Chains A and B, each alone.
Chain A
Amino acid sequence: MKKEDKILSIILIAGLFVFIAVADKFFNLYVQRVLNLCAIYTILALSMNLINGFTGLFSLGHAGFMAIGAYMVGIFTVPVEIRPMVYFMKPMHPAIADIEMPFIVALILGGLLSAFIAFLIGAPVLRLRDDYLAIATLGFSEIIRIVITNAQSITNGSLGIKNIPPVANIWWIYITMIISIAFIVLLINSSYGRAFKAIREDEIAAEAMGINLFKHKMMSFMIGAFFAGIGGGLYAALLGTVDPKNFLFVLTYNFLLIIVLGGMGSVSGTIISAYVVTAGQEWLRFLDEPLSIGGIAIPLFRPGFRMVIFSLLLMIIVLFYRDGLMGTREINWEMIKNFGKRFKLRRVKSGEVQ
Chain B
Amino acid sequence: MLKVENLTVSYGGIEALKGITIEVPEGSIVTLIGANGAGKSTTLRSIMGLVKVKSGKITYQGEDITGLKTSEIVARGITLVPEGRRVFPNLTVYENLLIGAYLRNNKEQIKKDLAWVYELFPRLKERSWQLAGTLSGGEQQMLAVGRALMSRPKILMMDEPSLGLAPLIVKSIFSIIQQIYNNGVTILLIEQNANAALHIADWGYVLETGKIVLSGTGKELLENEEVKAAYLGKKRQASAI
Contacts and interface: CB of A to CB of B under 8 A. Distances in A.
Contact of A198 (B48, B50, B79, B91): B91
Contact of B91 (A194, A204, A208, A212): A194
Contacts of A210: 70-71, 73-75, 79, 102-103, 151
B87 A205 contact: yes
Given A191-B98, A212-B69, A207 B50 contact: yes
A217 interface: no
A277 to B, nearest CB: 24
A209 B99 CA distance: 7
Interface in A316-354: 328
B70 A205 contact: no
Contacts of B90: 197, 201, 265, 328
A206 interface: yes
Nearest to A203: B86
Nearest to B148: A209
A204 B51 CA distance: 11
Contacts of B151: 209-210
A195 interface: yes
A175 B229 CA distance: 73
Interface in B22-51: 48, 50
A201 B147 contact: no
A198 B75 contact: no
B88 interface: yes
A207 B99 CA distance: 11
Contact of A208 (B69, B80, B95, B98): B80
A209 B98 contact: no
Given A197-B95, A204-B50, A204-B82, A209 B87 contact: no
Most B-side CB within 10 Å, residue of A207, A208, A211, A265: A208
A4 interface: no
Interface in B44-74: 48, 50, 69-71, 73-74
A191 B102 CA distance: 7
Interface in A230-253: none
A81 interface: no
A328 B91 CA distance: 9
A205 B88 contact: yes
A197 B91 contact: yes
B100 interface: yes
Interface in A184-229: 191, 194-195, 197-198, 201-202, 204-212
B76 to A, nearest CB: 10
A317 to B, nearest CB: 20
A195 B95 CA distance: 10
Contact of A195 (B86, B87, B102, B147): B102
B79 to A, nearest CB: 8
B94 to A, nearest CB: 10
Contacts of A191: 98, 102
B216 interface: no
Contacts of A207: 50, 70-71
A37 to B, nearest CB: 31
Nearest to B98: A194
Nearest to A214: B69
B122 interface: no
Given A209-B74, A211-B99, A197 B80 contact: no
B184 interface: no
Contacts of B95: 194, 197
A113 to B, nearest CB: 30
Interface in B133-150: 147-148
Contact of B50 (A197, A202, A208, A265): A208
Contacts of B82: 204-205, 208
A159 to B, nearest CB: 47
Given A202-B86, A211-B102, A212-B69, 11 more contacts: A194-B102, A197-B91, A201-B88, A201-B89, A205-B86, A208-B74, A209-B100, A209-B148, A209-B151, A210-B102, A212-B71
In the A-B complex, list the 7 residue pairs whose CB atoms are closest, starting with the nearest. Answer: A210-B74, A201-B88, A205-B86, A210-B71, A210-B103, A212-B71, A208-B80
Interface of B: 48, 50, 69-71, 73-75, 79-80, 82, 86-91, 95, 98-100, 102-103, 147-148, 151
